[in-house]
Structure 1
Amino acid sequence: MPDVTTGDTGARRRGYLLWAVAALAYAVDLGTKLAVVAKLEGRTTVSVLGDWLVLRVQRNPGAAFGMGEATTIVFTVIAAAVAVVVVRYSRRLASTPWAVALGLLLGGALGNLTDRLFRAPGDFQGAVVDFIAVRDFSVMNLADWAITGGCALAVVLSFRSSPMTVTAGAGARAPRA
């Protein structure tokens, strides 16, 4: 529940938390991608946990599991839209867990959006750098893990009926339609 006595101060603090989580997720994703491309691209896999978890650089122009390779620009637009929606909600957050969930989602979306915008072949169609290979599952990056974690937390919060935003009666502006 929002703290009615502090007006929107609590929502503002949760907004800052969202931005901090997003910045951390983005920075860790970008840093690992830069390191992996510099040190591992073109080399054999590096075993982390036997053959269950290995590091293997793979460029992915599509979505999860390599689907949609011919529609890379669609994923670029989706990532940008997710970022805009999260930013819009960032000022009215009603709970700390929602701030963390949306921060992970924003940081991950920005991490993959950066690849789409600045990696070859460019023109909003860049391939995302994936490097965490889980046996019999997928090759992903830390942005993907942040998105997955943020979505999982959002699902749990939704099932618990935890409100995402502060309403007008709780000291913040009412959301615009």
Structure 2
Amino acid sequence: MKLWGGLSVLGLVYAALAFGIDQTFKWWMLHVFDIEARQPVALLPVFDLVLAWNKGVSYGWLSGDASQDLLIAMSLAIAAGLWIWLAKATHPMTAAAIGLIIGGALGNALDRAVYGAVADFFSFHIGSFSWYIFNLADVAIVAGVGLLVYESFTEGRAR
């Protein structure tokens, strides 16, 4: 099994950036800005900063204290599988996308290990409709998946 490839460094850089930016922002929001005492902070009529502790995955699925260890293990297993995929990557966009997903997954896994839940801050809403609250790790994961989907469509056209 190949664990290092020609684009592994690129993927590692993107993973480190996603992880580092996510964890730095979370630390700042929790310990410097003190979002818990100030929330909600309305930045736009449709966007607030709040603090929500998510013990589950998207929309609170699999929430509960007992599931934290399982979710950490799943994040680590997924990151390991993605690392193997990264070692075989032949396109820079693939490596960057996989790196973003790994960094985001590890950022949320660290939250679970340290706090017992993932710290989420961004709340979009229009009238009574509210999107789920998310964080920068989630943004990195979605961006990485989006890049992989985009690449799969453009690769097919190139052939």
Aligned mate of 1:21, from 8, 14, 22: 14
* Aligned match of 2:41: 46
* Aligned match of 1:139: 133
* Aligned match of 1:7: none
* Aligned match of 2:119: 129
How is 1:162-173 mapped onto 2 (pairs within 5 angstroms)?
none
User: What is the CA distance between 1:100 and its match in structure 2?
Assistant: 1.0
* Aligned match of 1:31: 24
User: What is the CA distance between 1:68 and its match in structure 2?
Assistant: 1.9
**Contact map agreement 2:97 2:147 (CA 8 A) in 1:** yes
Q: Distance in 2 between matches of 1:154 and 1:108?
A: 15
* Secondary structure of the corresponding residue to residue 103 of structure 2: helix
User: What is the CA distance between 1:13 and its match in structure 2?
Assistant: 4.6
Structural RMSD (CA): 1.7
Per-residue CA distance 1:122-175 (angstroms, 9 max, x = gap)? xxxx1000011111211001001101111111122233447xxxxxxxxxxxxx
Which amino acid counterpart does residue 35 of structure 2 have in structure 1?
L
Which amino acid counterpart does residue 29 of structure 2 have in structure 1?
V
* Aligned match of 1:78: 74
How many pairs were matched up? 145
Aligned mate of 1:68, from 58, 62, 69: 62
**Contact map agreement 2:10 2:96 (CA 8 A) in 1:** yes
* Aligned match of 1:58: 52
* Secondary structure of the corresponding residue to residue 139 of structure 1: coil
Task: Identify the range of structure 1 (72-81 vs 24-33) with the bigger mean alpha-carbon deviation.
Answer: 72-81
Q: Distance in 1 between matches of 2:19 and 2:107?
A: 5
User: What is the CA distance between 1:82 and its match in structure 2?
Assistant: 1.4
Which amino acid counterpart does residue 115 of structure 1 have in structure 2?
D
Q: Which runs of 5+ in 1 are unaligned?
A: 1-10, 120-125, 163-177
Aligned mate of 2:83, from 75, 84, 87: 87
Q: Distance in 2 between matches of 1:94 and 1:55?
A: 39
